[in-house]
Amino acid sequence: MEEANTLVLVIDDEELVRDNIEEILVPRAKNHLDESINEAAHILFDMPQPILSPRNNNIPVFSVDKAANGPDGLKKVKDAVEKNRPYAVIFLDVRMPGWDGLETAMKIREYDTKAEIIFITAFSDRSIEEIVDKAGQNVGYHCKPYATEEIVQLATKAVTDYNRLRNLESLIESISSIGLNEHQLASLLKNILDQLANTLETDMALLGKLHDDFSYEKVLSIGAMEEKINLQELVARVKDIKIAPQEVIQVDELVLARLNCYSVFAVLKNQGRLKTEKMYLLKLFVQNAAQAIRNAELHEELLRKEKLSAVGKAMSMVMHDLRAPIKNISVITALMRDEGLESEWLDMVDRSATQASEIFDDFLDFVRDSPGTKETVDLKSLLEEALVYVKMKDGFDNICINVDCPDGLTVQADKSKIRRAVANIVNNAVDALIDHSVPRATISLTGVRNYQQSIAEVIIRDNGPGIPDNIMRTLFEPFVTRNKANGTGLGLAIAKQYIIAHGGEIKVVNEKGARFTIALPASQ
């Protein structure tokens, strides 16, 4: 661990004050004159304790520099920062000719935002709120006349706070540079919430995701927060406040910390107010914690891309081996027909071979993010063809499926890809209805034209149990299966990628079952 910074700068236009603070903070060397004075004081005044004694070991060994005015003090601060030996504490007189104390502090903050500034003055010309607003959170204020012990205590506390914050900075910055996986991210979020709660000395706190639409998704909580606080009311207050992504504020008894997409609500005991030093510490913690969370998310995103890349390479090799056998299936069925063999089973084999070939192609297109070839496509026939891919599923015949789309409604699309996207959504709906044994199971596919926005909408609705709230936000992420015995976890991810690539949009809500809405550019 680095040696503690105990550098002190005294800026005061009175030489007597500068020298006096230096004498107080710099330890006196024990000498024969001190012993003589102590002995005389004991004889004359019957004093049991010496009036001049060595510094207590618990008090830091300070090093003091002095400046007679604001510009001289600023120069010393700049020089110290350039030499990487910044001051930990700056004692600053408020009333000085030329630059006053507040103006000097504001100029110092342009070069050093971390030094603990302690204003020493006999006149309270400025409010503490104004000083904090202009000179930063890490400031103190003490009125003259002062006692020796007060200066020592102020300097000791300021040096302690300064070094504690620097150590915390180093620690959190180190943590924020580490890549974390999803499990470690969960542990990080829990530690962040615990640290904030401990710092705020509260037993009610809540951490969750605050989305762009200001809906709040709970992740973790401490105490009976949800029972005693109206969460919708809190979110509404946040919406009105418009707090920055990495900021901490206090509104009455509520403390809100934003960590990018995450937010922490905490309720202070006895409606207390946070001290400026604690608010500064919280802001520092939140900024670095937000960076740690971001690094974890980037790490997860990188892993997903690497996984997709690996799957793409594996699928390319599989395709190389399977392409010829799959293509040969249609050749074989054609030869069988030439021999006079006709059967609906042959038609089914042809459809299955075509479907298998398209699945391979679509899968590879997804991994490679290949652009589609757009053409004018009749939407009604596209929906009907998409159902053909699902009809071979066990239990399909027990589900009532309705298609309602006006004739002549067309879209500009890659027919294979949009058909595959619709089939994937319907396939998931069939699985949900069968798995939950939904009575009178129904799926409806509706196509409508939105003339105002020049789009065509496909609405796919089922009367199943709907999508659980805890997976709604991650529904379109790749490689995440939803309690299904079979499946790659890519169906809805592929659907979303295809639709976005067409300049379209896909949304899902629970509305007496799951309701997917696909918006695509309509043909003119």
- Give one DSSP letter per residue of 31-83, joined into a string: -HHHHHHHHHHHHHH--SS-SS-PPPTTS---EEEEESSHHHHHHHHHHHHHT
Q: Token pair of 453, please?
A: 């926005």
Q: Which amino acid is at 246?
A: Q
For the chain, percent of residues with pLDDT exceeding 90: 23
Q: Residues, the chain, total?
A: 524
Query: Average pLDDT of 36-62?
Result: 57
pLDDT bracket for residue 47 (50, 70, 90): very low
Taking 60 as the threshold, does the pLDDT of residue 407 lie above it?
yes
Domains of the chain: 7-26+62-164 (3.40.50.2300), 182-302 (3.30.450.40), 371-521 (3.30.565.10)
Note the Cα 520 to chain centre separation in Å. 32
Q: Token pair of 227, please?
A: 């029972």
For the chain, percent of residues with pLDDT exceeding 70: 72
How far is it, in rounded angstroms, from Cα 109 to Cα 138? 11
Nearest to 221 by CA among 206, 201, 204: 206
**Going along 252-373, which residue ranges are E strands?**
254-259, 262-267
| Backbone phi and psi for residue 238, each to the nearest 5 degrees, phi listed first | -65, -40
How far is it, in rounded angstroms, from Cα 518 to Cα 457? 5
Query: Average pLDDT of 11-23?
Result: 92
pLDDT of residue 516: 95
Q: Across all residues in the chain, what is the average pLDDT?
A: 79
How far is it, in rounded angstroms, from Cα 30 to Cα 33? 8
pLDDT bracket for residue 77 (50, 70, 90): very high
CB 86 within 8 A of CB 80: yes
pLDDT of residue 30: 47
